[in-house]
Amino acid sequence: MKGKLSSSILLPILLIVLPGCSSSFQSGDSARVFYVSVDGNDNNKGTLSKPFKTIEKAQEKVRKVNGDMKSDVIVYLRQGTYTLTKPLEFGAKDSGTNGHSVIYKAYQNEKVTISGGKPVTGWSLHDPAANIYKAHVGDLKSRQLFVNGKRAKRASSDSGLPDVAKLSDGFSTSAVKLAEWKNIKNMELVFLDVWTNSRGLIESIETVDGKAKIKMQQPGWSHLTNKGLPQLGLPWYLENAYELINEDGEWYLDQSSGDLYYKPLANENMTKADTIVPVVETLVSLKGTSADEIVHHIGFDGLTFAYTTWYQPSLIGHSDAQANVTKEKVEGLKYHKEMLIEASFEAQMVQNIIIEDCRFEKLGGAGLNLTEGSQNVRIKGNVFTDISGSGIQVGEPDRNNRDNYNPEDPRKIIKNIEVSNNYIRSIGIDYRSSIGIYGTYTQNMVIRNNELIDLPYSAISLGWGWGSLDPTYSKENKIENNYIHDVMKKLYDGGSIYTQGAQPDSTIKGNYIDKQVHKGGSIYPDEGSAYFTISDNVIMNVPSWLQIWAKSTHDNKVTNNYSNSKNLTNTGTNNILDKNQFIASVEENENAMKIKNQAGLEFTYQHLRMK
């Protein structure tokens, strides 16, 4: 970004939001500097003319100079792709000191990619009639394939199973030919049930009385059938079999033979195509070992994080509950075990972290996870796109662990998180219950001036537990001035802005919402939502602008909002609706027009739409 301020300067206005977190990055003249290049050598000194080759080597050098810092330490990464086989791990010893930061930064806006992918070469024509190519990849495993930078489609059926019926251990169908297919145990059934998008692995297929009897794998089947609402329905489609390759752009990995198959698009030449299979789940991990040993004062600026996968669905399926949280019934626990999926960037027990002007793309899990003890973190001016799961996940959902919602040690609280001026588009590619920006239990989390577009389910979801654990530490959260459009495109019973649980002194204000496809309400305070002020929002071209259906949704004030929809639900308890206006168009109302113009990316960040 242009005109950035020193990472050691604290702007007064930012102190209100993120006390102790510095503003933005710049390599000041006094900063200690190291350089890394894909063409470098780890025996070098790490200078501009003699750079290191690996980020790990630079990290090692930083640990020798960060004990008593007098200025920031900058690690400049030169242009190129840095391919990882395991995560870059940052602990307490990698932190900045004396209020200064260690910053990993692209050099002079060069394109720097941190990749978890493995190139695939040696393609040969396997089936000339079907134009299917093959490459041997050995024991490589992945759930994604990218060709010339574009996500390929895992081989799948066009629809569900014919004449399908649910059985105690699986399904029956008239599609008896399924029993003749190879590698049946790698095949997955994919489900679409109101607000969930689960997956189950097949154990066997037998022909019995003219029907194909599909037995599902355990323990995944038990997780799917015991996860609560919504109950598992009938399969939406079948995925991951060689026999399903019938469209250009589809692929299949035969794990038994180690062969990867692909049917190219019309414009693709497989002798020249750049094909990458993601093999790493997490690229960067910041993890403090305790509240006394945190990771702090580290920044990432101008980097691209790309090519990850997430293996769990290939092992036990995917029993999502809501917000793409996995849900498993465990004997002896009061609540189902609820877990986030893996992300390309993981942070736990961290403080004073800045992630700015980065790009998260071509990811097989989630984009970024902030969990236990994350405080004073800024996620600003980034792009999140082409992601299988959610974009940004803050907090942990498991209600069996008190540390997630009311820890005895306040240092474990998640607070002072700013998510601003991010462009979030086309996430939830594989797991459609994913969320653009998702938070569980948070305090003073500010979600502002983001643009969220082309999402299968809710755009912003804040709060967890359906009020079952209230009061929690959640309070003083702000969802303001976001531009949300073309969302809720696959699933139902979510919203452009969705909340759960009591969050005293929290606000939903100044957001512009347009073209939500499916119900529920575009602003949806669900069960337990309480003590919100919902004001000065503009909601256009939606099925219903407000959804307050649960009696447990209480003591919220909804005022001065504008919509061209008269549809709303208000059957909660002690909620005040006042001075909300119907408008035929935004242009006819000066206040509505002002809200629209101030929502979304601020001027300095509008170029992110083009990246």
- The H or E element spanning position 557 is strand 557-559
Helix (H, G, I), strand (E, B), or coil: what is residue 484? strand
pLDDT of residue 24: 54
pLDDT of residue 610: 84
* Whether the Cβ atoms of residue 193 and residue 186 lie closer than 8 Å to each other: no
Distances (CA, A) of 474 to 366, 405, 434, 499: 23, 8, 22, 12
Helix (H) or strand (E) holding 343: strand 343-348
Burial grade of 489 (CB within 10 A; 0-12, 13-18, 19 or more) = middle
- Ranges assigned E (strand) in 58-169: 73-77, 80-83, 88-90, 102-106, 112-115, 117-120, 124-127, 132-136, 146-147, 150-151, 153-154, 165-166
Asked if 405 and 335 touch (Cβ cutoff 8 Å), the reply is: no
Alpha-carbon gap, residue 513 to 483, rounded angstroms = 6
User: Which helix (H) or strand (E) segment is 267 a member of?
Assistant: none
Tokens of 326: 């996995």
- Determine the Cα angle at 85 with ends 83 and 88, to 5°: 80
Regions of the chain short of the pLDDT cut 70: 1-30
The predicted-structure confidence for 531-590, as pLDDT tens digits, reads as follows 999 999 999 999 999 999 999 999 999 999 999 999 999 999 999 999 999 999 999 999
Residue 282, SS3?
coil
User: The tokens of 13 are what?
Assistant: 């206005």
What token pair was written down for 32? 């200690």
Q: Is 39 exposed, middle or buried (0-12, 13-18, 19+ CB in 10 A)?
A: exposed
pLDDT of residue 19: 45
CA 157 – CA 168 distance, rounded (Å):
24
Q: What gap in Å lies between CA 480 and CA 335, rounded to an integer? A: 32
Residue 5 has what pLDDT? 30
Give 127-159 pLDDT, tens digit per residue: 999 999 999 999 999 999 999 999 999 999 999
Centre a 10 Å sphere on the Cβ of residue 560 and count the other Cβ atoms it contains: 15
Entry field: residues in the chain: 611
Q: What is the pLDDT of residue 611?
A: 73
Q: Cα–Cα–Cα angle for 349, 352, 356, nearest 5°?
A: 110
Compute the distance between CA of residue 313 and CA of residue 311 in angstroms, rounded to an integer.
6
Give, in degrees to the nearest 5, the angle at Cα 131 between 127 and 137: 65
In the chain the domains, ranked by start, together with CATH numbers, are 32-111+279-314+342-610 (2.160.20), 118-272 (no CATH)
